[in-house]
Amino acid sequence: MDKRNLGAFEIPIEFVEKEPEQLARIFGLMTFVPVRVECLWHKSVFEYIGLSPKFKEVPEGATARKYQLTCTDAYNGEVSDVTVTDVAT
C-alpha cells in the first residue's frame, strides 16, 4: 500500500469481546492494518486508526478521517462485505 489511506472508526467493546472472529473477518475484508487502538471507556468503544484501501488518501501530517462501518451479513451469519462511509466531524 503506497498511498496513505488513513482512517479511524469505532467498534463497541462488547462486539470486540464477544465476536473476535467476526472482527478479524471485517479487518480482512477491509485489508485493514491498525496503527493505533485506544479504548474509550466513556463511550464503551475501541477507536481503531489504521490503513485500508477503502479509506481516502490523506496528506502526510493530516489527522485520520473518521469513518462509519456498515457490515453486510451473509446467510450463514458471517460478514460478507464491509462498506465505509466518511463521517463529517
50, part of any domain: yes
- Per-residue pLDDT tens over the stretch 35-87: 999 999 999 999 999 999 999 999 988 899 999 998 888 677 788 888 899 99
Confidence band, pLDDT 50/70/90 cuts, at residue 88: low
Q: Which class for 54: exposed (0-12), middle (13-18), buried (19 or more C-beta within 10 A)?
A: middle
User: What per-residue confidence (pLDDT) applies to 79?
Assistant: 84
Number of domains in the chain: 1
State which residues form the domain around 75.
6-86
Domain assignment present for residue 71? The answer is yes
Q: Phi then psi for 32, rounded to 5 degrees?
A: -90, 130
Q: Which three cell numbers stand for residue 54?
A: 477503502
**pLDDT higher than 70, residue 1:** no
- Is 23 a domain residue? yes
Residue 21 lies in a domain: yes
Q: Report yes or no on 11 lying in a domain.
A: yes
C-alpha count within 13 angstroms, C-beta hemisphere, residue 23: 16
**Is residue 1 domain-resident?**
no
pLDDT reported for residue 2: 56
Q: How many CB atoms lie within 10 A of CB 34?
A: 12
pTM of the predicted model as reported, rounded to 2 decimal places: 0.89
